[in-house]
Structure 1
């Protein structure tokens, strides 16, 4: 049935209607693919989702995920769709989420589409074969122009999903780094762009600076006289101290600060190993560049001798990041347990992660729409079209826009692609609300005009 295909719940019983109320009903169940160390799952949990299963091919990533997020993750070859898709279908998830491998698209990679790029198609196969109401996919922004995403998009559209596709800057979604990522949110039966305005409006007015993460973590510090000139002397009271020796003494006035001293709140620059001709030094009052596996490497002599002209301070005196620093910048909690893995593998897992704060903000917008707490915007261009094409005076234009908004409220925030399904759902809502016939007619007319305007836009008229 068409109405079942688009995921409509048109029942009018009190129990069914209560699910649309704020905070009511069970949490949405989500399965994550390519879960890595658990950044996306952590964010979705914070948003209010129930994570029921997560898959990744790396045993070390699964171990870290289970130790920190919860015992949902299993090791699996996600290329084996025939075996894993039936398992996911039995879980009956409301959403499939994940960030397929992006190295083939990444500016830090070879930019040649190979086996890893093919996982974008695999992600779409899982969504199409298990048919959850929602999906959310994250990837690097270059993926939007790839052949792999073009194929995946066609599969998802043919399966009945409306797509909201945009590139977001993580610095505007709770993460102190300028990390631009492609986000695609799909929902069965919707029109394309159905969640675009809500995600854009969720962005903060200003990017998050590094100080938001590190500014209150410096605490108290102690001086332990270094045994060699190349060792640091300042240690935080929140970390293990060096071996206590008779050499403990007050910090001398002549002590030259070491780049790894814990009181780096006074340091005016942090070094992030740059790619190509990018900057290497950043202040605490701006976002970091996108975290990659090599972000915390020390500056090479070639960079020190030939620094970027926009560096705020010399790289030789800038603070050198620790692994815990890059973990925090990527959105992991301070107490995240990375133990039991090779340091290089941890650096890679941190770099590959979907930042939890960003996933949480996106997840909240999905849940708000699921619960009918938000509706798609009515663009101002619609009013301009009514004025020009329908010769409507300003008051009638305002009334028509309000009635379209009212229709979307009655539809629980749905922006349905099928006009028949939309009309059926609207009539059901009219009956539930007990609206007068005149009000019903006005809302129907306004919604018809809105759809006519949309068709003109699509046709380029």
Structure 2
């Protein structure tokens, strides 16, 4: 899979996707320190460009014919740490969508803070992407369940041409680790506790056996008299007994390797790049999920109460279970694809060689399973607002 990254920053997303097996053929960012750092660590396929220039960048990216466009448009206008006033940065979310619509890759991945899901900018961008034919899986992911020692929640929107909405949600759920990744999994901290400059009224001290809070631009800042005189009541030990992490350690919590080198940047720039990055283990997990579906190695799980729906239509429990099994078989023959119309779904199935070779009875059962599930989905859609694509929060079981 050939990918182009927009708003690439220092390269956290590219690093993770490369590890998953994605070929990053080009990356773009407007910030010189980020471009220099990316180039030094990941390669010369990065360019410093103003992505707001749609008329220049659209044809340039389209000529590359990527299979995937990925990126995290600037989030400062949405972030709870910012003013939350939609301005120029929020407009770059629409820029991302426009560039995707112009280049029309089969896939795209967009990352942002969860608050972006409720923004006018994203509503406009989403409308563009849906009109261009993309099915969307919108999920809020907690990075600590995807190999990152950080309780970092971010919005990920994954789109694929011709799919139904929510087509990848079950696969993203299945990709979670069995336990949260904690500080001790990544760093050796002799003190056993770490301090992070608290945001709002949060704790300042964390045990190494729990995830670090979200890495921000200011979390490296040292203790203040204000916190020393009024520590959080739930701090597990006195704050003076906790370690303060170095810049390199904070970078490692974001998934950057120990030998990562920062170029052309002040200390403040470095911490900004670290905070802005998509943690590479999380990007790697998402990349693997996409590649597995792209290569027809996974299928969407049957969500909801499909079996109960069939039983209400008069089938026995065992008969309903058989229909569900036949649906999964049909989905495997379709390579895990979902479709925006039943007719297209059935026509595609008819063209699959393995399906053609089946008995007449088996083919009839598979067609019927797809029809039954289509009816079930239509019933579900009537119970929700038709124009709203649900944002799924992937919680740990």
TM-score (norm 1): 0.82
CA distance in 2, matches of 1:344, 1:460: 49
CA distance in 1, matches of 2:123, 2:17: 27
Alignment match, 1:119? 92
Q: Give the Å deviation of 1:446.
A: 1.1
Q: Which runs of 5+ in 1 are unaligned?
A: 1-27, 216-263
Alignment match, 1:289? 213
Alignment match, 2:337? 414
Q: Give the Å deviation of 1:431.
A: 5.8
**Matches for 1:222-241 after TM superposition, within 5 Å:** none
CA distance in 2, matches of 1:303, 1:435: 71
Q: Give the Å deviation of 1:432.
A: 5.6
Alignment match, 2:294? 370
CA distance in 2, matches of 1:105, 1:363: 25
CA contact (8 A) 2:70 2:108 kept: yes
Alignment match, 2:247? 323
Instruction: Indicate whether 1:385 and 2:309 are aligned.
Output: yes
Q: 1:49 aligns with which of 22, 28, 34?
A: 22
CA contact (8 A) 2:77 2:84 kept: yes
CA contact (8 A) 1:161 1:189 kept: yes
Instruction: Indicate whether 1:357 and 2:330 are aligned.
Output: no
Alignment match, 2:382? 459
1:27-55 residue CA offsets vs partner (Å, 9 max, x unmatched): x0000000000000000000110001000
Alignment match, 1:438? 361
How many residues are aligned here? 384
Alignment match, 2:102? 129
CA RMSD for the aligned pairs?
1.1
Instruction: Indicate whether 1:402 and 2:325 are aligned.
Output: yes
SS of the aligned residue for 1:96 comes to: strand
CA distance in 2, matches of 1:83, 1:340: 27
CA distance in 1, matches of 2:262, 2:383: 53
Q: Rg larger in 1 or in 2?
A: 1
TM-score (norm 2): 0.95
Alignment match, 2:346? 423
CA distance in 2, matches of 1:197, 1:149: 23
Alignment match, 1:61? 34
Q: 1:162 aligns with which of 123, 135, 142?
A: 135
CA distance in 2, matches of 1:125, 1:447: 34
CA distance in 1, matches of 2:73, 2:56: 18
CA distance in 2, matches of 1:411, 1:378: 15
Q: 2:166 aligns with which of 166, 184, 193?
A: 193
Instruction: Indicate whether 1:210 and 2:183 are aligned.
Output: yes
CA distance in 1, matches of 2:280, 2:192: 27
SS of the aligned residue for 1:168 comes to: strand
CA contact (8 A) 1:32 1:41 kept: yes
1:302-340 residue CA offsets vs partner (Å, 9 max, x unmatched): 001100111111222321111001100111011101144
CA distance in 2, matches of 1:355, 1:425: 38
Q: Which runs of 5+ in 2 are unaligned?
A: 385-397
CA distance in 1, matches of 2:280, 2:193: 25
CA distance in 1, matches of 2:291, 2:299: 12
1:103-122 residue CA offsets vs partner (Å, 9 max, x unmatched): 11111111111110111111
CA contact (8 A) 1:88 1:130 kept: yes
Q: Give the Å deviation of 1:71.
A: 1.3
Greater Cα offset, 329-338 or 422-431: 422-431
CA contact (8 A) 2:255 2:281 kept: yes
CA distance in 1, matches of 2:220, 2:86: 28
